[in-house]
Amino acid sequence: MRQTEIHLTEEDKAALKVFRSKGKHMAREINRTHILLALDEKMPELLIMQVLG
Q: Residue 44 domain-assigned?
A: yes
Residue in 46, 34, 53 with CA at minimum distance from that of residue 4: 46
Q: Residue 2 domain-assigned?
A: no
Q: How far apart are CA 13 and CA 18, in angstroms?
A: 9
Question: Tell me: the pLDDT tens digits for 1-53?
Answer: 678 899 999 999 999 999 999 878 999 999 999 999 999 999 999 999 999 87
The pLDDT value recorded for residue 12 is 97
The pLDDT value recorded for residue 3 is 81
Q: Residue 14 domain-assigned?
A: yes
Question: Tell me: the pLDDT tens digits for 8-17?
Answer: 999 999 999 9
Q: Residue 4 domain-assigned?
A: no
Parent domain of 20: 10-52
Residue in 12, 18, 53 with CA at minimum distance from that of residue 36: 12
Q: How many domains does the chain have?
A: 1
Name the DSSP class of 22. Answer: S
- Find the helix packing angle between 27-40 and 10-21, rounded to 10°: 150
The pLDDT value recorded for residue 2 is 73
Q: Residue 1 domain-assigned?
A: no
